[in-house]
Amino acid sequence: MVGDSRNITFLDVDEFNFSPQEKFIHSSFEDAEIDEKYDFILTSHVWGHFYRNNTFDFCYKKCHDLLKDSGKLIVVHNSNNDFIGKLIEFSKTLFKEIEFDVFLDQFLENENYTQHYFDVHFKAESFAELAELVQVLLVVPDSLYYERIQEVADFLEKNLEKPEFPINQRLLVIEKGAH
């Protein structure tokens, strides 16, 4: 049965409540001890975290090791090829350290993969509210971010007609064993 949630395993550092038939691993991916092999592994907006923690190589290899021979790794991340890229570059001038979503294309060099692009819309009532929401895209400690939030709001207002913008997403489907 395709929709059978008993065949789904969730992994996250935060605690979640799932139905009893679903498996949940409360751990970071780096530290998780997993003995199963999977048909599909879905990762959504986590590769920037692996990049900043210098675990990208390790996690990419771990994903491949956890896939069955014909398994697929599905990656969803911000492409950063649109307004987000411009916002990231501006934010680097304000903050010494920021975190943002990224996937290293060098890992696709010997892979058989398909890619698809789509947009999600980021919208607020005002530029000040949008500046608060943007912090989920540019992870900066609260104390540092709120010291400079007005500058972020001013940048948004200067570069956008209204307090909204699309965020271009890339979906990669990487086939194991197809290189």
CATH 3.40.50.1820 at 31-175, yes or no: no
Phi, psi at 83, each rounded to 5°: -60, -35
Report DSSP letters for 86-115, one per residue: HHHHHHHHH-S--B-----GGGGTT-EEEE
Q: Which one-letter amino acid corresponds to residue 17?
A: N
Residue 135 CA to residue 87 CA, distance in Å, equals 11
1 pLDDT tier (thresholds 50, 70, 90): very low
Query: Secondary structure of the chain: what % helix, strand, coil (to 5)?
Result: 35, 30, 35
Give the count of beta carbons closer than 10 Å to the beta carbon of residue 22: 14
- What is the token pair recorded at 97? 């350290």
| DSSP-assigned beta bridge partners for residue 166 | 121
Share of the chain above pLDDT 90, in %: 77
Per-residue pLDDT of 104-140, as tens digits, reads 999 999 999 999 999 999 999 999 999 999 998 998 8
DSSP letter at 139 equals B
Contact predicate 47/77, CB 8 Å: yes
Per-residue pLDDT of 39-70, as tens digits, reads 999 999 999 999 989 999 999 999 999 999 99
